[in-house]
Amino acid sequence: MTQTADIAIDGAPAGFQAYRRLLRRRLLLTICLGLLAALLFGVDLVSGPSSLTAWQTIAGLFDGSTLDAGQLVIIREIRFPQAAMAVLVGMALALSGGELQTVLDNPLASPFTLGVASAASFGAALGIVLGVSLPGIAPEWMVSVDAFVFSLASMGLLQVLTRVRGAGSEATILIGTALFFSFNALLALTQFLGSAQAVQQVVFWTLGSLSRSDGDRVAILAFVTLAVLPFSLLASWRLTALRLGEDRARSFGIDVSRLRALSLVRVSLLTATAISFVGTIAFVGLVGPHIARLLIGEDHRFFLPASALSGAAVMSAASIASKVVMPGVVLPLGVVTALVGVPIYIALIMARRTRP
């Protein structure tokens, strides 16, 4: 008896220290991801087709006295909103993806598997093709508002239907997939009815673009992201427990249905706001969380912030790439994001495989 007790007493500090080391490593990796995201944001900010220098750009953000009106517009109304939007969209979508992969216990889950993006695209198409608008909405906000309303409504419908069915993760995925196909069919129908010009606009909307960013949109998305993030972090230990399995989580006294439902509310808000401003950018919601998981593991206190930061880094990298590949031309952001994200993603998977 005493011997086992001794071992336990001796072993505990050792285990505790190992745990401390693990925590420190995770914290360090999260900070590194944050620094990387900040660096890429900076590079994104100073790259573009005009002849502004990096110093002029950064100085121009604070003091515009040395620059002409055109340069000021470029810096304050184009570069900064677009670079900030890239960071925020990456954070919002990757955070959503991370939460969804956990609560649905499915590594392929992303805000897009559940039909939110299709619903947003359908809403946008209604605005672009048929001019459907809520009363009192200015034309430049119409498409964003339509997309937002439809993606929130689709998530609401998903919540109601899964409640009726009993709130299992499988039911959520199956019903979400049904919504995905329904909204895609409605989107196709809207395009069929639209004129060539309108259809082209819808197609480009669905491919994603940062060029619609402005100060108001950045402020709204920043507000939503900062408002939702603390609730995600508060739920992080429950989410970590859920990774051990639904039954284990229940045995800790966690109300899994409630956890899932609240998580879906957060995901709805983040995703709907982000994609209503930039269109559908699918890949970052899937790859951001996976990069974080490969680097940090399942501890959601670190995994969730790391997901958000990975997403931000991927989006900033994509934004830089889209400016460098064909200077002056706007390449669809959804396309560039996937093309930039895939190599990072595969490199991480390969690196992990080769480890002993």
Apex 341 CA angle, 335 and 347, nearest 5: 145
Residues 6 or more apart whose Cβ sits within 8 Å of residue 29? 295, 296, 302, 306
Options 54, 73, 164, 234; binder of another protein; rule CB under 8 A: 73
Options 1, 9, 196, 350; binder of another protein; rule CB under 8 A: 196
Nearer to another protein among residue 84 and residue 173 (C-beta): 84
Q: Which helix (H) or strand (E) holds 95?
A: helix 80-103
Stretch near another protein under the rule CB under 8 A, chosen from 168-176, 190-198, 221-229, 230-238: 190-198
Provide the mask over 134-173, with x wherever binding to another protein is found by CB under 8 A and - wherever it is not. Answer: -----xx---------------------------------
Residue whose structure tokens are 């809207």: 190
Residue 298 has what DSSP assignment?
S
Nearer to another protein among residue 109 and residue 198 (C-beta): 198
Provide the mask over 240-279, with x wherever binding to another protein is found by CB under 8 A and - wherever it is not. Answer: ----------------------------------------
| Count of positions on this chain that bind another protein (CB under 8 A) | 30
On whether the CB atoms of residues 82 and 318 are closer than 8 A, the answer is no
290 binds another protein (CB under 8 A): no
- Give the separation between CA 180 and CA 27, rounded to whole angstroms: 37
3-state secondary structure of 341: helix
On whether the CB atoms of residues 42 and 55 are closer than 8 A, the answer is no
Indicate the Cα dihedral angle 44, 48, 53, 58, nearest 10°.
-40
Report in angstroms the alpha-carbon separations of 154 from 122, 128, 228, 299: 11, 19, 19, 30
328 binds another protein (CB under 8 A): yes
Nearer to another protein among residue 201 and residue 280 (C-beta): 201
Helix runs in 104-168, H state only: 116-125, 139-165
On whether the CB atoms of residues 253 and 241 are closer than 8 A, the answer is no
Options 50, 56, 184, 257; binder of another protein; rule CB under 8 A: 50
209 binds another protein (CB under 8 A): yes
On whether the CB atoms of residues 152 and 130 are closer than 8 A, the answer is no
For the CB of residue 314, give the shortest distance to another protein in the complex, in Å.
Answer: 20
Provide the mask over 88-127, with x wherever binding to another protein is found by CB under 8 A and - wherever it is not. Answer: ----------------------------------------
Stretch near another protein under the rule CB under 8 A, chosen from 49-57, 180-188, 219-227, 313-321: 49-57
Q: Which helix (H) or strand (E) holds 6?
A: helix 2-46
79 binds another protein (CB under 8 A): yes
Options 16, 211, 219, 352; binder of another protein; rule CB under 8 A: 211
Q: Which of 288, 290, 285, 230 is nearest to 262 (CA)?
A: 230
319 binds another protein (CB under 8 A): no
Sign of CA dihedral 39, 86, 350, 103: positive
Site residues, another protein (CB under 8 A): 48-51, 69-70, 73-74, 77-79, 131, 139-140, 192, 195-198, 201, 204, 209, 211-212, 323, 326-330
